[in-house]
Amino acid sequence: MKFTFAHNNFNVLNLEKSLDFYKTALQLTEARRREAPDGSFTLVFLSDGQMPHQLELTWLRDRQEPYNLGDNEFHLALMVDDFAGAHALHEKMGCICYENKAMGIYFINDPDDYWIEIVPKR
């Protein structure tokens, strides 16, 4: 028996805003979409175009209040080949929420305040 990662899920309040963020900030693109026949939810799977692992964004029609992320101690991490260029882009976007210069990493937050760690390719 062997398990492999398939995807992670983030629930979002504004699907279009989130899609724009992930496309602009991380160059993730829509790989597939599933919409409920009654319109109650939409699932969008985002891909980096290289790895099989995907990020699933879930939009629920009836959800109005922000999601409780607790202490926000969980996160995704993405590796980037141009760390300085990514940092400049994210700084311009105003989405850097935490930096650890000693470790050479930083975090950005998406429109729903999920944290994404950015690490340089080593």
Q: Interior CA angle at 16 toward 13 and 17, to 5°?
A: 70
Gap between the Cα atoms of 118 and 109, Å rounded = 11
117 is known as an active-site residue: yes
Identify the H or E element spanning 90.
Answer: helix 83-93
How many angstroms separate the CA atoms of 121 and 95, rounded? 21
3 state DSSP class of 6: coil
- Catalytic annotation, pick one of 30, 56, 99, 117: 117
- Where do we find the tokens 């850097």? 96
The DSSP bridge pattern shows strands 76-80 and 29-35 to be unpaired
What residues are labeled active site?
117
